Structure formats: structure tokens, C-alpha cells
Structure 1
Amino acid sequence: MTLTYDLYWSFRSPYSYLVTPRLIALERDFDVAARVRPVYPIAVRQPDFFTSNDPLWLSYFLRDIGRSAAFVGMPFRWAQPDPVVMDFATRTYPLEQPYIHRLTHLGVAAAERGHGLAFLEAVGRLIWSGEVSGWHEGDHLARATAEAGLDLAELDAAIAAEPERYAAIVATNQSAQRDGGHYGVPLMVFEGEPFFGQDRFDQLQWRMEQHGLTRR
């Protein structure tokens, strides 16, 4: 029997980027399938989240993300540009966001076409690995989309034809995410149990093994 779980994932989350290759390997080697459910980052859903944090939160995060990438052997550089536009002087986020809504809706469209995990991996790597400068320029995004087996122009056209439907799917995902037990990403929810963070992958697999996870 194929095991399934919900994956809540954000294009602004470097931790989401870090866990994705392990999720792909899990699905490749074992009889398990992710229900890919992209969400907007917390900076878009709750813009005052970071302004109310202790200053140590940011300094620890910046140290930890580089360490976490090195630990799992993945290249990492802060996204250029950041998928979420931020005023660093005031630590606030303008309402006008030229990148994150498109990326999130593309993730929804990819998931609907059965290529969700592949799209998250290819585009996440484009944004966060540092392999290219200006991930949003030229044909970088189109090439990453093609790597996932999809056509960027087709996805963009589908979203442009039904923008409200895609926004509604993201809203539904975000509501289900909280029902799943956490507001952060990456969040994997299996059999009603939330596993928050890329460092919970081993526990996720362990729990799946208790539920009969089998090799392909």
C-alpha cells in the first residue's frame, strides 16, 4: 500500500530547499507519495512576524542555515533576489511582491500535473544553491521548469486564466497546514502527525516504517 503525506513548502524557505532531495529519494526508493501543497511564506501571511522577534532569532537563523546546508552537503547562498521583497532597514515587507505569488502558484500548477516534488527541487535549487546569479532573469526559471518535466509558458498561461483559483488553493493549503499542527515550513504531515523542519526527516521516515513503509 502506498503511504501518503502532505508536504507544506515555501519558495522563500531555505530549509524547504534543503529537505527536498531527501523527499525525492524517499519517493524514489520507497512506496510513498507526497501531496505537494505550496504555501506563501510567513513574511507574506504575517508581515509583522519578524519585527516582533528577538534580534537573536535572525542571527541564529543565518548561522544555522549555512551550517545545515554544509551538514547535508548542499550548496547554499542567500537567494538573489530574495523571493520576498523586504525593506531590511525596517524589517518590513511591502504589499507589492513581484516574485513569491508567481512562484507559489507555479508550484500549485506543477503539483496538479503530478510533477510537484520535481518542480520544488529544480526551482528550489535554482533559487538557493548559488549556481546562478539572478534566478529570475533570462531563461533560468524556464530551464528549471523543463528539468521538472513541465513547460513554464503553459503553467503561466494556466495561472493567468484562473488566478483566483490558484490563490484559493494556496489559502486552502495554509488553513490545512495549521490544522496539521504547525505554521512553519517545511512541514510534513503523516497520519495526522506533524513533522516540522528539514531536521525531522529521519523521524518522518521512522514513523512511516512503523506504518509499513516498503521498498519499491
Structure 2
Amino acid sequence: MTLSYDLYWSFRSPYSYMVTPRLRVLERDHDVACQVRLVYPLAVRTPEFFDTRDPLWLSYFMTDVFREAAFLGLPFRWPRPDPVQREPDGRYPAEQPYIHRLTHLGVAAAQRGRGLAFLEEVSRTIWGGEVDDWHQGDHLARASERAGLDYDELSAAVDAEPDRHRAVVEENQVAQRKAGHYGVPLMVFGAEPFFGQDRFDQMVWRMQAQGLAARI
């Protein structure tokens, strides 16, 4: 029996980037299906969330993301440019062309059955530290090709129906909270939420209890 889980994921989340290679290996080696559900980052959904954080939250976060990437053996650098634009005074503008487009492209990729592959290839391009100006040139097109997708076709689909793709994201965000958390990456298996890339092993443990089988 194929096991399935929902994955709530954001292109602005370094931890989403970090968990994705393990999720792809899990799906490659086991009879598991991932239902990719893209969401906007908290900086876009609820930017006031960060106004109430203790100053130590950010300093610890910046220490931890680099340490965790090194621990996992993943290349890592803060994106250039950041997928979420920010004003000099620290405010997040309502218009966010980078993250909105990335998220809608992810929705389109998921609808074509290549969501997880697209997330891995594009997030590596953005977060892996080898690409400056990932939003220009053919960087996203090449990442899409590696994921088995045609970037021009994805872009055309998003351009043709922006409201529909936005509505899918908003539906995902409602479902995410109903599932038990607001952050990413959030994996939901058997109605049980597993928040954070460091809960991957616990989710697999639960799957094993439910008969997780290797692919033949």
C-alpha cells in the first residue's frame, strides 16, 4: 500500500531546502507519495510575526541554519537576491514578485506530478551558494529541466491563470493551520503534523509503523 503525506513548503525557508533531498530519497526508495502544498512565507503572510520576536531569535536562527547545512553536508548561502524583498526600514512591501512567482510555479509543478523534484532543483539553485541572480537568465529554466519540466510551459500556465494559482496557495495555507501548525517545512502524515526538517526521522518512524515498504 502506498503511503502518502502532505508537505507544506516555502521557497524562502532554508529548512525547507534542507529537508527536500531526504524527502526525494524517501520517495525514490520507498512506496511513498508526497502531496506538495506550496505556501507563502510568514514574512509575506504575517510580517508582524517577526516584530514580536526576541532579538536572540534572529541571531540563533542565523547561527543554526549555517550549522545545520554543514551538518547535513549541503551547500548553503543566503540567496542573492532574497526571494522576499524588504524595504530599508525593515518593512515587507505588499508586492513580492519573486516569492509570488516562485510559489505559483511550484503549484504548477505539483499539479504536473513533479512538485518535489521542482522544489529540490529550484531551492538548490536559490540556496546552494553557486548562483547569483537566480531570477535572471536561464537558471530557473535549467532547474525546471532537471526536474523534468518545461519552464516556458510552467510560466505560461501561471501567467494565464494567476488568480487560480494564488487561490491554491491560499487554500493550502488554511489547510496547513488545520493540520496543526503554521510553519514550514510541515509534513503531515496520518493527520499527525511533523514541523521542521529535524522531524523527518520521526515521520519515517511513524511510516514504518504503518508498513512503509521499499520500492521493488
- TM-score band, normalised by shorter chain: over 0.9
Task: Please report how far the alpha carbon of residue 122 of structure 1 lies from its aligned counterpart in structure 2 after TM superposition.
Answer: 0.2
Residue in structure 2 matched with residue 31 of structure 1 by the alignment? 31
Q: Secondary structure at the match of 1:50?
A: helix
Q: Note the 1:9-20 alignment, pairs <5 A.
A: 9-20=9-20
The code of the aligned residue for 1:91 comes to: G
Q: Note the 1:41-120 alignment, pairs <5 A.
A: 41-87=41-87, 89-120=88-119
Once the two structures are superposed, residues 154-199 of structure 1 have per-residue CA deviations (whole angstroms, 9 ceiling, x without a partner) of 1111111111110000000000000110000000000000000000
Query: Which is further off, 115-124 or 128-137?
Result: 128-137
Once the two structures are superposed, residues 88-126 of structure 1 have per-residue CA deviations (whole angstroms, 9 ceiling, x without a partner) of x53320112120000000000000000000000000000
Q: Secondary structure at the match of 1:143?
A: helix
Asked if the contact 1:51–1:91 (Cα under 8 Å) also holds between the matched residues in 2, the reply is no
The code of the aligned residue for 1:146 comes to: E
Task: Please report how far the alpha carbon of residue 134 of structure 1 lies from its aligned counterpart in structure 2 after TM superposition.
Answer: 1.1
Residue in structure 1 matched with residue 135 of structure 2 by the alignment? 136
Asked if the contact 1:51–1:92 (Cα under 8 Å) also holds between the matched residues in 2, the reply is no
Task: Please report how far the alpha carbon of residue 64 of structure 1 lies from its aligned counterpart in structure 2 after TM superposition.
Answer: 0.3
Task: Please report how far the alpha carbon of residue 133 of structure 1 lies from its aligned counterpart in structure 2 after TM superposition.
Answer: 1.1
Task: Please report how far the alpha carbon of residue 71 of structure 1 lies from its aligned counterpart in structure 2 after TM superposition.
Answer: 0.7
Q: Distance in 1 between matches of 2:204 and 2:162?
A: 36
Q: Distance in 1 between matches of 2:203 and 2:71?
A: 19
Q: TM-score, normalised by structure 2?
A: 0.98
The code of the aligned residue for 2:4 comes to: T
List structure 1 runs of 4+ shifted beyond 6 angstroms. Answer: none
Count of aligned positions: 215
Once the two structures are superposed, residues 62-100 of structure 1 have per-residue CA deviations (whole angstroms, 9 ceiling, x without a partner) of 00000110111000000100000013x533201121200
Q: Distance in 1 between matches of 2:130 and 2:31?
A: 32
Q: Secondary structure at the match of 1:76?
A: coil
Q: Distance in 2 between matches of 1:84 and 1:11?
A: 9
Percent identity of the aligned residues? 69
The code of the aligned residue for 2:48 comes to: D
The code of the aligned residue for 1:166 comes to: H
